Amino acid sequence: MKIDIKKLLSNQLLIPITALVILCLVNLVNDASFFTIKLAPNNEGYNVFSGPLITILDYGSELAILAIGMTLVTAASGGQDISVGATIAIAGSAMLRVLCGGVSKPEALAAPIIVGFLVACIVGMLCGVFNGLLVSIFRIQPMIATLILFTAGRSIAAWINNNELPIVPDPKFKYFGGFIPGIPIPTTTFIAIACIVVAALLLKFTNLGLYTQAVGINESSSRLNGINPTFIKFLSFVILGLCVAVAALIKVSRLATINYSVIAKDIEMDAILAVALGGNALSGGKFNMWGSILGAYIIQFLTTTLYKFQVDAAALPAYKAVVVIILVVFSSPVVREKLSALSSKKKAAAKGVA
């Protein structure tokens, strides 16, 4: 059996998969019960699965969904959207505004949940339109363009609900961030899978992926080939807006309420990190969606592991930073090229000796 080491080393998914394996090993050595999954009744009397792995799948969902959109934005525009957390607050707030009718403690839903979700989608996409216009037409650096909503977003979210913190009365609303009665797997997992499948189908059966990469690699040559770079960039922000709306549904549903100042705080940084962990160049161009999605779950895996190890609260960010630095350096295209060059040199040397 021959394995082409060079090909393996240059594979973009090598680093994230290695990271995942190492994290698994660390947990296995520390406490093998990390991998047990229990089936036990919750306080509503339904049997549900629980265990660290389920926790990772559950809480990693929002990040995986956001990573899809962030990958496209990164690839097309060569920049990142830092307003994701704030736009989640906006979309979530709009959803609650519709569901609760502007009352902080309604007796019943003012509108069906699906209407609330559709409004959130529209609002999320409008935020995407705003960012996309600034980036694609006015050619503002993505990070600067999205800085506007990053700064103002949470205040806008508070203003939508008149600074009330509405609580959704219908227990069904909690299904999206929790469990559907009778189904023991967290609903968030299904939502994430649905989003991933849709994204995979889009990339397989449309030219979206190809065009996005073309625009990211060389804008003017893609224009000469009949692609409209402005539209592709704009579209990527709108798709991210849609991802944001889905993530907002999960976030708001988890506790059936919202806190404008802390909901999805710093999640944009984790989403960007997921893209980087997946081995994608943050300067745009070629991308691997699976890498980003894997990256998202690795981040959650890391968080859960750190909680498990009971790392001192004040030192938690430092631990996370160290791991992240190692991962990002090793998954950067430069290091990967060096690594594969090194291995081919070794091979050549070995051949020379022989």
Partner 1 sequence: MKKRVVAVLTAAVMAFSMAACNSGSAGSTTGGSTGGSTGGSTGGSESAAPAASSGELIKVGIINNDPNESGYRTANDKDLQNMFTTANGYDAKFAYSLKNDEQIQAAQGFITDEVDYLLLSAADTAGWDGVLKDAQAAGVKVTLFDRTIDADPSLYEASIVSDMAKEGQTAVDWLAGQGLSEYNVIHIQGVMGSAAQQGRSGALDAKVAAESNWTIVQQQTAEWNAEKAQQIVQSVIDSNTPFNVIYAENDDMAKGAVAALDSAGISHGVGKDVIVMGFDCNKWALEELLNQNWNYDGQCNPFQASYIDNIIKTLESGGTLDKKTIIMDEKGFDAATITQEDVDNYGI
Q: Does 159 bind partner 1 (CB under 8 A)?
A: yes
User: How many whole angstroms separate alpha carbon 76 and alpha carbon 92?
Assistant: 27
Question: Do residues 195 and 68 lie in contact, with contact meaning Cβ atoms separated by under 8 Å?
Answer: yes
Give the number of other CB atoms < 10 A from CB of residue 21.
10
Residue 38 DSSP SS3: strand
Q: What's the min distance (Å) between Cβ of 291 and partner 1? A: 24
Q: Stretches 33-41, 193-201, 268-276, 280-288: which one binds partner 1 (CB under 8 A)?
A: 33-41
In angstroms, the CA 98 to CA 95 distance is 5
Site residues for partner 1, 197-216, by CB under 8 A, read none
Q: Which one of the spans 63-71, 161-169, 219-227, 288-296 is the region binding partner 1 (CB under 8 A)?
A: 161-169
Among 114, 314, 334, 350, which residue sits at the site for partner 1 (rule: CB under 8 A)?
A: 314
Asked if 140 is part of the footprint of partner 1 (rule: CB under 8 A), the reply reads no
Q: Distance between CA 37 and CA 56 in Å, rounded? A: 12
Residue 181 sits in the site that holds partner 1 (CB under 8 A): no
Return the range that interacts with partner 1 (CB under 8 A); candidates 79-87, 98-106, 193-201, 270-278: 98-106
Q: Nearer Cβ to partner 1, position 169 or 333? A: 169
Angle at the Cα of 70 (from 330 to 173), degrees rounded to 5? 120
**Residues 202/208, Cβ–Cβ less than 8 Å:** yes
Return the residue matching tokens 């409008």.
126
CB of 295 to partner 1, least distance (A): 19
Cβ(109)–Cβ(169) under 8 Å? Answer: yes
Among 8, 26, 40, 335, binds partner 1 (CB under 8 A): 40
Q: Looking at the chain, how many residues does it have?
A: 354
Q: How far apart are CA 279 and CA 18, in angstroms?
A: 12
Q: Are 143 and 80 in contact (CB under 8 A)?
A: yes
191 neighbors 178 (Cβ within 8 angstroms): no
Contacts with partner 1: how many residues (CB under 8 A)? 60
33/220 with CB nearer partner 1: 33
**Residue (4 or 44) nearer to partner 1, CB:** 44
Residue 9 touches partner 1, criterion: CB under 8 A: no
Cβ pair 228, 235 in contact under 8 A: no
Can residue 151 be called a binding residue for partner 1 (CB under 8 A)? yes
164 belongs to the binding site for partner 1 (CB under 8 A):
yes
Residue 104 touching partner 1 (CB under 8 A):
yes
Query: Considering beta carbons, is residue 39 or 194 the nearer one to partner 1?
Result: 39
Per-residue x/- marks for partner 1, 237-276, CB under 8 A? --------------x--xx-x-xxxxx-x-----------
Collapsing DSSP to helix, strand or coil, 41 comes out as: strand
Member of 69, 142, 178, 285 binding partner 1 (CB under 8 A): 178
Burial of 13 per CB tally in 10 Å (0-12, 13-18, 19+): middle
CB of 129 to partner 1, least distance (A): 7
Tell which one of 152, 185, 203, 323 touches partner 1 (CB under 8 A). Answer: 152
The stretch among 142-150, 313-321, 323-331, 337-345 that binds partner 1 (CB under 8 A) is 313-321
